[in-house]
DNA sequence: CCGTATCCGAGACGATACTG
DNA sequence: CAGTATCGTCTCGGATACGG
């Protein structure tokens, strides 16, 4: 692999593989952006309400993964009924704007992309 | 869903779902960045050589998807042996810098994230 | 050289039921 | 309220073989 492409290396610490692979799941980016947009602490149920088509299981799994990565902090209150609050860590706060950049790009160009996909479908279909 | 969070909507044209879902696969980002770093036309075999751990099948699949999205242009030469060249479209060229931003962030913080994951593993293990 | 076709395993995801 | 546990489905991606 050429020098200036070493960032793409297959090493276990390859940044792209380690970081982008996480964003690849269905919910992480969404959760990060919701926490970023909201600004402060959010309870589990609050997140569940905003991202209303996520299942309880997947919200839990996603939050655990983000917590493991040090992007989200979890605070558990020993009360009945239990209360759990989530917020971005400093690392998370640092990351979110970069994700938002990409999200803004996505917003701006999603129509073009969707149109391109349609055109491509037709092109492929016409060759059958 | 609150007004300022409409970007997260579950609609079929939701930018985040439509665009990030694509980057979520294992190879798209890598291929885009290789094409972006290289700058010009690249042959299939050349891409395969640079991203040396991708299978032929996945490189084909990934390039087709990027082509469908209008991010990569494919030029096929009717020769024997066949020659196929790929390059970023204008849309692709517009996108790549945004991805690179995120990649740079990833490079900078991957160590911290990996350390955080290790710590989290230990924390979980100690509770069993 | 640049694909396609087929098979297979792993894991992501959702639905549902249950719990402190 | 905020989780776990379990199960079934489906898609991704790798291995391999073959083709124009």
Domains of chain B: 3-125 (1.10.10.10)
- A111/B25 touch (CB, cutoff 8 Å), yes or no: no
Point out the least confidently predicted range of B12-21, B75-84, B90-99, B107-116. Answer: B12-21
Q: Answer left, alpha or beta for residue B70, where phi above 0 means left and psi between -120 and 50 means alpha.
A: left
Closest CA to B28 of B3, B47, B9: B47
The answer to whether A41 touches A85, Cβ cutoff 8 Å, is: yes
Q: What six digits make up the tokens of B16?
A: 């985040």
- Render pLDDT for A6-28 as a digit per residue (tens, 0 to 9): 667 667 778 887 888 888 888 99
For the segment 38-67 of chain A, residues whose CB is within 7 A of strand C:
53-58
Q: Please report, for residues A49, B6, B10, B90, the alpha-carbon distance to residue B41 in angstroms, rounded to integers and kept in the order given.
A: 47, 39, 37, 13
E strand residue ranges, A1-128: 42-43, 72-77, 83-88
Residue of chain A whose Cα is closest to the Cα of B104 = A15
* C-alpha dihedral, A36 to A37 to A41 to A45, nearest 10°: -110
Residues of A in contact with B51 (CB under 8 A): 8
Contact B97/A at CB under 8 A: no
**Overall pTM > 0.85:** yes
- B51/A95 touch (CB, cutoff 8 Å), yes or no: no
In the predicted model, residues of chain A with pLDDT beneath 50 are none
């Amino acid at each position: 692999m050429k020098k200036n492409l070493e960032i793409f290396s297959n090493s276990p610490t390859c940044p792209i593989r380690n970081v982008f692979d996480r964003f690849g799941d269905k919910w992480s980016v969404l959760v990060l952006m919701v926490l970023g947009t909201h600004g402060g602490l959010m309870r589990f149920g609050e997140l569940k309400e905003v991202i209303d088509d996520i299942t309880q299981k997947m919200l839990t799994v996603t939050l655990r993964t983000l917590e493991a990565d040090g992007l989200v902090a979890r605070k558990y209150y020993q009360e009945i009924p239990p209360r759990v609050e989530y917020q971005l860590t400093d690392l998370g706060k640092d990351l979110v704007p970069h994700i938002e950049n990409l999200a803004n790009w996505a917003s701006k160009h999603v129509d073009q992309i969707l149109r391109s996909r349609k055109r491509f479908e037709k092109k492929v279909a016409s060759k059958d």
